[in-house]
Structure 1
Amino acid sequence: MKHIVVINPNTSAATTAMMTDLVRCVLPANVSVEGMTAVSGVPMILNPAQLDASVAGVLDMGIAAARNADGLIVCAFGDPGLEPLRNSVGIPVVGLCEASMIEAAAGGRRFGIATVTPDLVDSFAQKAESLGFADRFTGTRLTDGDPQRLASEPDRLREALSIAVRQSLDRDGADVVIIGGGPLGRAAAALREQLSAPIIAPIASASALLLRLMTEADDAAGA
């Protein structure tokens, strides 16, 4: 049986459980999933300083988890520590932002982001540029209100995100919209079911990408 570890760079055990459940739901039964939660930091990453501060914890958790895992997911939309962790372990590692942008841009589609964290908007644009998708990225649309309070109220969160999704599609010309945030994972999954709009759920994107990379690694090892 293959084993995946979900690394939560924030300190919320409830968020870890939610994200781990979402990963488990989209993977085959022969893949086990375990979650790890940061021991220090913040319950929700809201700005670049907090994102940078989470990198050390991601590396510590990831290096420890890699001893018994076949793949790792860095489950924060800012992908903190993704590249250093890849360089430190010998197994596939994926991040939510990178994986969702790869899926969203497939076939030359234009994509936007709907999220709750205004202070991280610049980092999303930088990520799109680093992946070679700057010409396909239509920008980020934000919800109104305090991000943490909104994230704690599922109905309000889904309603606010649905408005941001519609703005991204109708005003920005996106073909598909990413719901940007690990803690927004359940809302993203619900919106995919509720809206006719094309929605990308980053946790599902990362899970699918990691499974593919693990399969490719097995094929290469057996060649």
Structure 2
Amino acid sequence: MRIALINPNTSTATTQQMVRIAAAHFRGDLQGLTAPFGAPLITTPDALDQAALAVMALLPDLSGFDGVVVSAFGDPGQAALARSLPVPVTGIAEAAMAEAHALAPRFAVVTTTSDLVARIDRRAIDLGHRTAYAGCWITPGDAAEVTADPDRLLTALHEAALVALADDPSIGALIIGGGPLAQAAVALAGMLSVPVVQPIPAAMRLVQSRIEDKDIRP
């Protein structure tokens, strides 16, 4: 089984980090691909739209794969790529929200990008989670600055998660929303009173399940 993991951000270091995390949940051939243009960190709707175009620009590099993961939380380009390929294409927001909803009747997203809240809200609704989705809680400060400091990022996400749980006691699962937040998501697992869904592992589980289901269909 061969899976391509696309980083819609332009940071190759982030791609390498994502692949390391994904590889722990997959024993086959995993290849990371980085957006050929766009932003090193997607923090605005315009950057998310540009990332969708960058993801589609990678289409010629995707032949021979059994599945594809789009590893940015807005799932940029996922739908268009899925229409263009004969294999499953899974977004990390899609997978994380499905897993969180399976774990609890209500879930929330904790992330760093305040300008993307409306897009995340829309993604949750479009994926059928309107009643289960409790909303987004955002870390304070500039997203790029916070993300650049791993210790500061972990502390900020932990504090925002605690605020979310205090604000809405009905929340039964939390998603750490963002491909570049993957390492922090791993570290936060077990630090909170509810399950923490890590989007990249969730996407790896979902895409493999879809590949296997496709293979056994007559």
- TM-score normalised by L of structure 2: 0.96
After TM superposition, the runs of 4+ consecutive aligned structure 1 residues lying more than 3 A away are: 193-197
The CA RMSD over aligned residues, in Å, is 1.2
Write the deviation string for residues 11-69 of structure 1: whole angstroms up to 9, x where unpaired: 10000000011110112x2x1111011121110000111100111210121x2233121
Percent of counterpart pairs with the same letter?
38
Q: 2:123 is matched with which residue: 98, 122, 127?
A: 127
**How far apart, in 1, do the equivalents of 2:5 and 2:99 lie?**
19
SS for the counterpart of 2:24 is: helix
- Could you tell me which amino acid in structure 2 is paired with residue 117 of structure 1? T
**How far apart, in 1, do the equivalents of 2:117 and 2:40 lie?**
19
The residue that corresponds to 1:198 in the other structure is 195
- Could you tell me which amino acid in structure 1 is paired with residue 177 of structure 2? G
The residue that corresponds to 2:15 in the other structure is 16
- Could you tell me which amino acid in structure 2 is paired with residue 187 of structure 1? A
Q: 2:49 is matched with which residue: 52, 57, 60?
A: 52
The alignment status of 1:140 with 2:136, answered yes or no, reads yes
**How far apart, in 1, do the equivalents of 2:30 and 2:190 lie?**
24
Gaps of 5+ in 2: none
The alignment status of 1:181 with 2:178, answered yes or no, reads yes
Q: 8 Å contact 1:22–1:186 — kept in the other structure? A: yes
- TM-score normalised by L of structure 1: 0.94
The alignment status of 1:83 with 2:79, answered yes or no, reads yes
Shift of 1:193: 4.1
Gaps of 5+ in 1: none
**How far apart, in 1, do the equivalents of 2:43 and 2:19 lie?**
21
**How far apart, in 1, do the equivalents of 2:208 and 2:93 lie?**
16
Q: 1:115 is matched with which residue: 90, 111, 117?
A: 111
